[in-house]
Structure 1
């Protein structure tokens, strides 16, 4: 009998931490199965899916850059959230069809669930970046009734993204360099409000320029969230913590989105809670 397996595809793919996460959960649960990496180029995407869909042991795959949008025409159908976001990061064979999901959106929200379970007078999120990750993050936050200030180098792209993902929302755009310089803006009373500042870009990642953000743009009590995982402790998060703000790192979203994918691949609930501490140690080893 073939061992059931799932995998992550991308180009490049060697940097992916997903095999460590899924392998840890399979080990903890004592499940027969494995999770691999597969280097798939843009030219090889269709052939990869054609070959895998006929393999009874294949339980699906996660999709990373640069294929999250390119896979869509090759799938049988999309989950409504993935269709709305316009990006797929999880593919599962279901009843003979390849179905595309987006687990980035719920994965992003996972570490914020305790905050979002509260009642707020007002929620505002400053989201920095307009790439593929930002699409999932904007959709997720719009569904949580946050007013979004979307910031990018191209403000017209930012506006189009907001109009596409939440056309009824009263959101705003700003150039990315708006947040680089200090402001003397005086924030109103934030009691009963929830403020979030998100780096949804690759700025601050190893080999990339830093994200320039002056802390004077953050309302008191803001939560800072960086989706970058290498380095895990970015300069953006260091500066926020030094200024007294609460922070959320990129592993939180990575593990959160993997949780949703694992359930679909292997039909089991991954061990979380205290197990997350051990998982993080393994990821950082």
Structure 2
């Protein structure tokens, strides 16, 4: 039986449109160097109209072992995969692809990256019974799925459009509940976890003041935004003594399973790698 790992100089990619700002090559090429592996990981800009052809070539040309997909290709990557797993099936989106025995397999590692980041930086976070998730866009799907799968008793999705929040709650079922923004102050009372999946506070965007003082004293506040590294919501939470976790770790941890699939070694997220990405985004270590 042929094992694709026997191929010399394995190659992997990240495909998106646009793709120039992707930091995935920094992560994977760092790990290739750490393991002294001969291989490469590269950015590939693929316009939406060309993505089907790109996947066809991936299946037939043996150029790549697989790769990552990012905006706007995650949904189409899921649809074009021969064997999407249960996680990507439920999400309807895939960010990690790999070839095996001539077939294209797919998964989504965003939820894994989110929970692994929290596990690494704030062990025991999943003892929180009540979670409040702000935002119901594409980024929140994998996160609410991961929180549900970790067994949290209540997960409240809060969004400007209640219909979008309800769509997520219906997709993932109990214990998810949908709310409008006006419910946020009441929901945060006694909550043990707050996650911002919205763009509020990103790249200098304004963020409202939220009643973090009403959360449990041992609550955790997490943001999936990492530019800026310390977001307005994190600063608000820290000002009332709450623990926080930034979004950079999610980016790093979500890359681990893909690297293992393509290059046959399981990497570890280190402070050195984090510092490399921080330097690239111009943030203090």
| SS in structure 2 at match of 1:247 | strand
Alpha-carbon distance, 1:270 to partner: 0.8
Task: Give the length in aligned residue pairs.
Answer: 271
Q: 1:15 maps to what in 2?
A: 21
Alpha-carbon distance, 1:2 to partner: 5.9
State the TM-score, normalized to the length of structure 1: 0.87
Kindly provide the CA deviation profile for residues 62-113 of structure 1, in whole angstroms up to 9, marking residues without a partner as x.
1111111122222212111110122111111121111110111111110333
2:145 and 2:84 map into 1 onto residues whose CA distance is: 16
2:171 and 2:160 map into 1 onto residues whose CA distance is: 18
| Greater fraction helix | 2
- Tell me if structure 2 keeps the 8 A contact 1:184–1:216: no
Residue 271 (1) aligns with residue 268 (2): yes
**Which shifted more, 208-217 or 122-131?**
208-217
2:159 and 2:92 map into 1 onto residues whose CA distance is: 19
2:161 and 2:100 map into 1 onto residues whose CA distance is: 39
- Tell me if structure 2 keeps the 8 A contact 1:125–1:149: yes
1:156 and 1:240 map into 2 onto residues whose CA distance is: 28
| SS in structure 1 at match of 2:37 | coil
Q: What are the within-5 Å matches in structure 2 for residues 174-213 of structure 1?
A: 174-179=179-184, 187=190, 195-206=192-203, 208-210=205-207, 212-213=209-210
Q: 2:274 maps to what in 1?
A: 280
Q: 1:93 maps to what in 2?
A: 99
- Tell me if structure 2 keeps the 8 A contact 1:126–1:149: yes
Q: What are the within-5 Å matches in structure 2 for residues 132-281 of structure 1?
A: 132-146=138-152, 147-165=154-172, 167=173, 169-179=174-184, 187=190, 195-206=192-203, 208-210=205-207, 212-272=209-269, 276-281=270-275
- Tell me if structure 1 keeps the 8 A contact 2:111–2:143: yes
Q: 1:190 maps to what in 2?
A: none
| SS in structure 2 at match of 1:7 | strand
Kindly provide the CA deviation profile for residues 190-217 of structure 1, in whole angstroms up to 9, marking residues without a partner as x.
xxxx811101122221164435533245
- Tell me if structure 2 keeps the 8 A contact 1:107–1:260: no
Q: Could you say if the C-alpha distance between residues 185 and 154 of structure 1 is closer, same or farther in structure 2, counting changes exceeding 3 Å? A: closer
RMSD: 2.3
In the alignment, structure 2 segments of 5+ residues that lack a partner are: 1-6, 280-285
1:35 and 1:184 map into 2 onto residues whose CA distance is: 43
| SS in structure 1 at match of 2:261 | helix
1:236 and 1:244 map into 2 onto residues whose CA distance is: 13
Alpha-carbon distance, 1:13 to partner: 1.1
2:101 and 2:16 map into 1 onto residues whose CA distance is: 25
